[in-house]
A and B are shown apart, each in its own frame.
Chain A
Amino acid sequence: MLAFTAIPFYNLKTEGLAVEVAAPDAFIVDTRLSPIRSELSNIVEISGDIVEISGDDVAPYLYRRLVPAWREGGFAVSGVTGCDALFCIEQAARAFGLRTIRSTPLGTSNLRGAGEGVPGSLSTQSQELELEIVSWLIAPNAA
């Protein structure tokens, strides 16, 4: 379970930079952000075909849904996730001619969890993530 301690978001609506999210084919919401979902909804329009996945490992959804869809052509996807999850998705999307059309940082939140690091990785084990949250849209390159 994640316990959430928030630090203030940069409220894009307040600053007159209301974020419009185009109607994508899927909208990914990172389940690590569940504790702050209502606050995110005040900043970003979360709508459409909403898919909730763990940003810790996007691989199952990426390879079982997105990659096959991208192979068929098209399939824009939007989301509100940690920047780590966006990195994985956008790197995979590149192989199919898609790119990140828009990426808007929304702030940072502290997420404490019982997660362990990956043994033997270059990075130290993490007990507490300071997740950089980003709203984004990945779509095919213009023809």
Chain B
Amino acid sequence: MKPEGVGQASWEAALSAFEQAIGSERVFTSDEDIALYRDAYSPMWGEADERLISAAVAPTSTEEVQAIVRTANQFGIPIYPISTGKNLGYGGSAPNLSGSVVVDLKDMRSIIEVDDERHFAIVEPGVSYFDLFDYIQERDLKCWIDCPDPGWGSLVGNALEHGVGHTWYTYRDHFASHCGMEVVLPNGDIVRTGMGALPGSKTWSDFRYGFGPDMDGIFGQGNFGIVTKMGFHLMPQPDAFISKKVRVPRRRDIIPLVKITNEFEYGGILGMPIYESPLTQLQAAGDEELGALMDSPEVWHNDSLDLLAASRELPFWECTLQFYGPREGIYANFDFVKDRILAEIPDAEFVDLEELQFPLSQEEQASVRHKVAVGIPNLNIFSVSARSRTNPNPGDGHLLFSPVIPRTGTDLLEAQQIFGEALRGSPLASLYTPFTPPFTWLHRCFALACGFPISRSDPSINAASRDAMETVIRIGAENGYGEYRTPPLFQDLVSSTYSYNNHALRRLTETVKDAVDPNGIIAAGRNGIWPKHLRERRQ
């Protein structure tokens, strides 16, 4: 395959130029090599519309990236930068535009600086969370990473995707905790943002804004350049960590519970609260009594599920409360939070989970209950997703729907019903129920996320998931719930839902795109931003 609209002579000349710039061993065109960049969670796996690349190039330096970009401009080659290509559920390493050349930044792996007095790191895009974690551990530095689950992705790639993690407050908003970038622009020029624009700056990784407009935002979920360095603020290693679980008996107890946890998280006392419901296990096990109750549309309004939970001696909701800081202080904080919860939910119950004091030995790290809560990257989540009695049809992966809803219990209950009723009667109706828990990755909102199954052997599963995804995207937007992130196949649709004032935001981004990348070579179509010559492709 070669990129559409590129003549054979131009294509061969471009490949030759890539090889001249970075070495032939770093230019990949064989079918076997190209297959390595397929999205393992593609909802179009094996179908005609699966997004596939034409080639890949793997530079090792900013200068090589510049050479690639200049070549791409010269010959009109669409390029698609990836960091470590682990964006599973959101497109992986596959581009929006088939035939693009992937610019694989995995070998730009320098950890440029880590400072555990000012608590920052500067890294290149090929640095994974595992890499930085090991770097910090080997040097006994007193700072933490915040990583997603699984932790094999790139700090730069994840942050640019607006990815999220699991530790304390803003550290888990990875783009918010970045500070400064170096970017190769579509014309091959290099820009450093924030204080990095001042030659010899001593605060590039301390003060994000620099002077004048903050341009960093356009590179997050954007296609205006290739980021080659990025700074991150790191959480200081705390003295201790404790986690407790609170159990509440009724569905509507979530309302006061969320109100209290919000107050304490935003006030700096509580870490990321994690909401769960034991009823999801009953559902996954095919509980007939639960199934019968769920068949009624009245299930959203009556107390039938409360009664069921009580009869099984199960709480309706559980919430893991996590505290970081000096040991004596966090126990005092927990007591305060507990008293507040009991004042509003007198029959709430509390369970001890874990206490840790830092630093941890390697053996202690291995036995941590929830590793990402204390900044330890791991791949445990893939075994959780394996087939089990409570997960009988795990699929080969998932398509992530990630709507943002207000962080209140009332809004949660309403959104569950909206999405649940939207899918009623479909094979995926079970994904939204009165006990679907919200995710708190976004520290000021809920993400009422779910994973629609995908299959690498059964296209009908993928078709059903695609249909469901389109349904919930539209229904969500109609109700004021936009997605914060979505796979390439749905990026045009999601982009179209952000339509205020005749799609003014999209018109603005297209104006910037046309100015910064007039040949439209970088990541065409990413998040609905198409270059001028391809704009009619928008779905």
Contacts and interface: CB of A to CB of B under 8 A. Distances in A.
Interface of A: 55-60, 62-64, 82-85, 87-88, 91-92, 94-95, 97, 99, 108, 116-132, 141-142
Given A63-B130, A84-B383, A130-B389, A122 B449 contact: yes
Contact of A95 (B106, B284, B370, B384): B106
Given A97-B36, A99-B35, A120-B274, A62 B379 contact: yes
Contact of B451 (A82, A108, A116, A122): A122
Of A84, A119, A142, most B-chain CB atoms within 10 Å: A119
A72 B446 CA distance: 43
Given A99-B32, A99-B35, A118 B380 contact: yes
A128 B275 CA distance: 22
B383 A56 contact: yes
A125 B383 contact: no
9 contacts: A59-B152, A59-B379, A117-B384, A118-B149, A123-B384, A125-B390, A127-B388, A130-B388, A131-B387
Contacts of A131: 386-387
A95 B450 CA distance: 28
B259 interface: no
B281 interface: yes
Contacts of B450: 122
B351 interface: no
A108 B373 CA distance: 32
B289 interface: no
Nearest to A94: B36
B281 A125 contact: yes
A128 B389 contact: yes
B500 interface: no
B280 A130 contact: no
Contact of A84 (B84, B281, B385): B385
Interface string B423-460: 00000000000000101100000000111000000000
B30 A141 contact: yes
Given A59-B377, A84-B383, A126 B390 contact: yes
Nearest to B370: A119
A91 B384 contact: no
A132 B275 CA distance: 30
A68 B281 CA distance: 39
B379 A119 contact: no
A97 B33 contact: yes
Contacts of A99: 32, 35-36
B48 interface: no
A22 B387 CA distance: 29
B220 to A, nearest CB: 23
B211 interface: no
A57 B383 contact: yes
Nearest to A129: B388
Given A56-B383, A125-B281, A127-B388, 7 more contacts: A63-B134, A82-B383, A85-B382, A91-B86, A118-B370, A131-B387, A132-B387
Contacts of B276: 119-120, 125
A64 B85 CA distance: 20
B83 to A, nearest CB: 10
A135 to B, nearest CB: 17
B378 A57 contact: yes
A88 B379 contact: yes
Contacts of A88: 150, 152, 379, 382
B33 A56 contact: no
Nearest to A58: B379
Given A59-B151, A95-B106, A118-B384, A123 B391 contact: yes
A46 to B, nearest CB: 21
B383 A119 contact: no
B40 interface: yes
A109 B345 CA distance: 43
Contacts of A83: 386
B332 to A, nearest CB: 24
A129 B385 CA distance: 10
Nearest to A111: B388
A60 B439 CA distance: 27
Of B320, B366, B370, B389, most A-chain CB atoms within 10 Å: B389
